[in-house]
Amino acid sequence: MTRSKHQDPVLVESLLRKGLETMLSGDVEAGKSILRDYIKATVGFEKLGEATATPPKSLIRMFGPSGNPQARNLFGVIGYLQKRAGLELQVTPQRR
């Protein structure tokens, strides 16, 4: 998914939600991949780096296949992405 002026906001929002839900369910690799696609489709790594004071190359590695982001960095990025999207995502427990 690449940036487009004609993006469906519902699709883009669902990508952010899906990435976070996937990570929280335990599939960190797939979640990082989804979030990487979301970042590419919306803000881009350059602007995200400026906003989070993190070098873009570090962010690209963080969300890459071998990336292992620290919680502080990951939550900083997630917080910015939510704010930028005008969302406040919440965790709701559900019994299995």
Domain boundaries defined on the chain:
9-85
Q: Are the beta carbons of 38 and 7 closer than 8 angstroms?
A: no
Q: pLDDT per residue over 3-46, tens digit each? A: 554 467 788 889 999 999 999 999 999 999 999 999 999 999 99
Residue 64 per-residue DSSP state = S
Whole-model pTM: value is: 0.85
Q: Are the beta carbons of 81 and 16 closer than 8 angstroms?
A: yes
DSSP codes joined into one string, 3-44: --TT--HHHHHHHHHHHHHHHHTT-HHHHHHHHHHHHHHTT-
Between CA 76 and CA 67, with CA 26 as vertex, the angle to 5 degrees is: 50
